[in-house]
Structure 1
Amino acid sequence: IGNQSSSGEFILLGLSDRPHLELLLFVLILISYVMTLLGNTTIIVVSCLDPHLHTPMYFFLSNLSFLDICYTTSLGPQMLVNFRNTCKSIPWAGCVAQLFISLSLGSTECVLLAVMAYDRYAAVCQPLRYMAIMSRRLCLQMAATAWLSGISNALVKTVLTLRLPRCGQNRINHFFCEVPALLKLACVDTSVNMTELLASSVLLLLLPLGLILVSYGYISAAVLKMHSVEGRHKAFNTCASHLAVVSLFYGTAIYMYLQPPSQDQGKMVSLFYTMVTPMFNPLIYTLRNKEVHRALQRALGRNLTAPRT
């Protein structure tokens, strides 16, 4: 990073070639951002306040909600400002911070979703030993592993990307600072960076996804052995929300980071997984989840019946 001027700035082109779409995107992203903040904050607050939700599943879900709030906040406000400004710039230090924070949180989510799949495996396949297996200590260790792996990956990627000489190029063909777009500015061979990007994508995308698929393979086998229709339905509901979130997140992330570099990286797809997916996560987890419904009703009931002073 030292061979670049820290006093410079980057120009984020975004949709400069189609300015008529910027107002529409501004409105859509603003709505997504506000709903993301409201939905994920609600999950965190309810999970903390309601004793019935003090379980490993909601501990990890609260981690996911906090992560999504930070992730969208690291990118959303800057995009909203740029959509309404004629000068769509970001300081060099701001680009470094945005790249590192968004990479840390995105990588952490990859691992955290795999951890949540293991939690669902323990709940369905080992119901009698579930609380013994998913002890508080193990939950804290697994969450810490997810966060530390994400931060480590982001540190390596950020240093390798921003130390490349750009030869004066500072126009990023994207809405925000992202590795594939920044690599296109380099005026030297980036094959080492592309190899590292592919390797880390396999490690943090395909490996966790493989663990998720293995977990759900065991879950499916356990569900098929259940004689009770009600038991099968309950097990399916327990896992359906997580599977929907996994499909949304991994589908778009794999498209972005594992396609051949010669293809268009899909700026609009990046908007989906950075702004829209975090908005859907709390909706997915609350619409089908009766425990969250009951917790919300209890919280609202307490507020409505609380004596006013």
Structure 2
Amino acid sequence: MAPLQSLSCSDPSISRLVTILTATFAIILPSIIITAFYVHIINAILKIKGAEGKQKAFSTCSSHLIVSSLFFGSALVVYSIPSRGENDKFLALIYTVLTPLLNPFIYTFRNSDVKKAVNKICIKYVYPVVHKPHS
């Protein structure tokens, strides 16, 4: 929005203020809701008796929480703090490309069938190349 606001023929300060307030509200409200859900989830995990169950649940939650933090944190900085140049492009890249790119890996590598298939491919194609006998 900053490039468009700077091209306008009027004073862009009100438009920038509205953009910052709207973006902050649209980012902070979902972040608070997600954080509240994770607090509830963590409380439920702490009530699990077995250490293996706790570890598996925390493993799943931590990966989701990292991706959510990347998305909302970078979006908050890009839209709520006035432009700082090149850093905005990098942060926008994080939440528009990196976060959606990580989601399939997070959800598929939790599946044991996918892990087995990746392991098979690695053994078949990667292992022979890495452990090639010396002539």
TM-score scaled to structure 2, two decimals?
0.70
Structure 1 residue 225 corresponds to structure 2 residue 41: no
d(CA) in 1 for partners of 2:111, 2:59 = 10
Task: Give the length in aligned residue pairs.
Answer: 116
Counterparts of 1:283-294 in structure 2, within 5 Å, are: 283-287=105-109, 289-290=110-111, 293=114
Contact 1:241 1:285 in 2 (8 A): no
The residue type paired with residue 245 of structure 1 is V
d(CA) in 2 for partners of 1:200, 1:254 = 11
d(CA) in 2 for partners of 1:229, 1:199 = 44
SS in structure 2 at match of 1:207: helix
Structure 1 stretches of 4+ with a deviation exceeding 6 A read: none
Counterparts of 1:156-167 in structure 2, within 5 Å, are: none
The residue type paired with residue 263 of structure 1 is R
Contact 2:27 2:76 in 1 (8 A): yes
> Which blocks of at least 5 consecutive residues in structure 2 are unaligned?
118-135
The residue type paired with residue 48 of structure 2 is M
Deviation of 1:214 after TM superposition, in Å, equals 0.9
Structure 1 residue 280 corresponds to structure 2 residue 105: no
Structure 1 residue 253 corresponds to structure 2 residue 79: no
Deviation of 1:262 after TM superposition, in Å, equals 5.6
Contact 1:286 1:292 in 2 (8 A): no
Larger RCO (CA within 8 A; separation ≥ 6): 1
The residue type paired with residue 244 of structure 1 is I
Between structures 1 and 2, the one with greater helix share: 2
Tell me the percent identity: 37
The residue type paired with residue 101 of structure 2 is M
The residue type paired with residue 10 of structure 2 is V
Deviation of 1:209 after TM superposition, in Å, equals 0.3
The residue type paired with residue 108 of structure 2 is T
> Which blocks of at least 5 consecutive residues in structure 1 are unaligned?
1-178, 298-309
Which residue does 2:120 correspond to in 1?
none
Q: CA RMSD in A?
A: 2.4
Contact 1:245 1:284 in 2 (8 A): no
SS in structure 2 at match of 1:188: coil
Structure 1 residue 216 corresponds to structure 2 residue 52: no
Instruction: Sort the Cα spacing of 1:182 and 1:218 in 2 relative to 1 into closer, same or farther, 3 A.
Output: same
Which residue does 2:6 correspond to in 1?
184
Instruction: Sort the Cα spacing of 1:292 and 1:216 in 2 relative to 1 into closer, same or farther, 3 A.
Output: farther
